[in-house]
Amino acid sequence: MRIDDSSIRVDRDTCIACGICVERCIMDNLRLSVAPCRQACPINMNCQGYIRLIALGQEDMAIQQLLPFGPLLNFIAEKCTAPCEKVCVRKQKDGALHILELKRYLVKKYRDQLNTINVSEKKSNKTIGIIGTGISGLACGFKAIQSGHSVFFFTRSFDAGKKDNILDMIRKVLENFKAVFLNDKDLVDSSGQVRKFDALVLSSLEDQQLLGSEFKPVPENTHVDKISHQLHENIFCSDTGASKNNPVFEIARAFETIESVNRFLNNEPLDWGRGFYTQEGAVKAYKTDFRVGNDEPRIPMENVLGKMDADTAKKQASRCFSCGRAFEKNQTCWYCLPCELECPQKALYVDIPYLVK
């Protein structure tokens, strides 16, 4: 006898695997099966989401999916090595979906919308110092501002002369959101006092040298905890020494670091309940590089708009198999319908289990 049948139907064409239904379910019935592309993405970006929305002709909604990454997208779209494409299921049939190209298309076309940061409504009165203004420092700053903190950057002397258009662009946006940029010498302020922060984030282990002896952990730390990124009390370091073959990993580590900082500031444990969305899954998927199908070069950022328009983008996006979606994992449905009500795409239909029907 089947004692637990029931039936949630999800429309593959419209489901964007956002996971809202999973969060809202009041019986813990649903789970999200995460598409390979998203599993492979170091920062867990919902590729399937924006691609499905392009395919449905809803580009304005598609860009919404990307907004949580704000100006960082300029960097991501330019520099990412697209691990997502390497695991795309379509690859075995007729070549991976051009996920990176579609991202470049969106980022280029809607770049004005990306010059902003959705700051959390809950204002914090905490100040965070960040040493280093490479991509990992800027990403930390971005996430910290998003979490409502005030941010001070300290450019390291060996970074100072470097010029990078994309990083400068990100920096400008952060400045608009009141980030202060200083030099590493300014770690001591004009009156000779060491500046005090609620938390300090280093871009690399070597940055310990810049700290005054009041803060420097003795003996110096030689490795960083992979999950918590904590170095010493309120000092964190985003670099865990893990591989750097995809620059986007640096952003991922920055996000993890700020998550820890937030927990630290809220007096929450740094490791509890993590691991659900950590990089482990991502790294594993990244290594499954089955190298089937085409590896043709992608259209570079500069001329993506010349080569792609709404129609070609839509055609490309329509090739997506829609691998990820919500599914009924636990068979505990009470057919109460919040999941259906909250689905932004109206892709979910709750049927009454056969035993009851």
Partner 1 sequence: MNIRRMQTDILIIGGGSAGCMAAIRAKEIAPEINICIWEKADFKYSGSIARGMDALNIVCIPNLSDPDLYLEAIQSGCKGVVDSDPSYVMAQRSYDLLKKLEKWGVRFIVDKKGNYRTLQYHVKGRFQTAMDEPDLKLILAQKVLEKNVTILNRIMGISLLKDGDQISGAVGMNTRTGELIVSQAKTVILCAGGQARFNLPNSGYLYGTFDYPGNSGDGFIMGLDAGAKLTGMEYCSSVNLIKDASMPLLAITVTRGGRVMDCFENVIMEGAVNRIDEMNKAVDEGRGPLRISLKHLPEETISEIEHILFTCERPVQERFFRNRHIDFRTHDIELWPTEVQLCGGHGMSGIRVDENAWTGIYGLYAAGDVACVPKQHLTGAFVFGEIAAENAVKVTKNINDVCVDEKKILSILNKKESRENNLDKNIDIKEFEYKVRRIIGDYIPSPKNEYKLHRWLEWSKVFKNDLEMKVKIEDGHDLARLYEIEHIIRCADCSAVAAITRKESRWGDAHFRSDYPETDNQNWQKHVLVLQGDKYENLDTTTAPVSGLNQKEIFHEN
Binding positions for ligand SF4, rule: CB under 6 A: 8, 25-27, 29-30, 333-339, 350
Q: Is 353 in the site for partner 1 (CB under 8 A)?
A: yes
* Residues 66-85 close enough to bind partner 1 by CB under 8 A: none
List the interface residues with partner 1, window 5-24 (CB under 8 A): 5-6, 23-24
Per-residue DSSP letter, 122: S
Between 29 and 228, name the residue whose CB sits nearer to ligand SF4.
29
CB of 279: closest distance to partner 1 in angstroms? 17
Instruction: Check residue 320 for interaction with partner 1 (CB under 8 A).
Output: no
Cβ closest to partner 1, residue 155 vs residue 262: 262
Is the bond into 219 cis (omega within 30 degrees of 0)?
yes
Tokens of 76: 């991501």
Cβ neighbours, 10 Å, residue 107: 22
Q: Which two tokens stand for residue 279?
A: 């990089």
Q: What number of residues does the chain have? A: 357
Distance of closest approach, residue 59 Cβ to partner 1, in angstroms: 29
Q: How far is 261 from 78, CA to CA, in rounded Å?
A: 28
CB nearer to ligand SF4: give 23 or 302.
23
The one among 28, 189, 280, 295 contacting partner 1 by CB under 8 A: 28
Buried (b) or exposed (e) across 229-241, using 16+ Cβ within 10 A? bbbbebbbbbbbe
Contact 339, 35 (CB under 8 A): no
Among 34, 333, 343, 348, binds partner 1 (CB under 8 A): 333
| Number of neighbouring beta carbons within 10 Å of residue 341 | 12
| Cβ at position 242, least distance to partner 1 in Å | 23
State the nearest-atom distance from the C-beta of 303 to partner 1, in Å: 45
Find the binder of partner 1 among 3, 165, 191, 219 (CB under 8 A): 3
Task: Look at residue 353 and give the partner it binds from partner 1, ligand SF4, none, a contact being a CB closer than 5 to 8 Å depending on partner kind.
Answer: partner 1
CA distance 165 to 141: 18
238, 201 contact by CB (below 8 A)? yes
Q: Which of residues 257-296 bind partner 1 (CB under 8 A)?
A: 267-269, 271-273, 275-276
The Cα–Cα gap between 228 and 244 comes to 19
Beta carbon nearer to ligand SF4, 24 or 109? 24
**Binding-site member from 25, 102, 199, 224 for partner 1 (CB under 8 A):** 25
DSSP 353: P
User: Which of partner 1, ligand SF4, none does residue 61 bind to, with CB < 5 to 8 Å depending on kind?
Assistant: none
Decide: 319 and 101 in contact? Cβ < 8 Å. no
E strands, 221-262, are 230-232, 235-237
> Is 250:238 a contact under the CB 8 Å cutoff?
yes
Minimum separation from the CB atom of position 123 to partner 1 (A): 12
Q: Find the part of the chain contacting partner 1 (CB under 8 A) among 63-71, 199-207, 283-291, 333-341.
A: 333-341
Distance separating alpha carbons of residues 61 and 53, to the nearest angstrom: 7
Residues that bind partner 1 (CB under 8 A): 1, 3-6, 23-28, 267-269, 271-273, 275-276, 329-338, 341, 350-353, 355-357
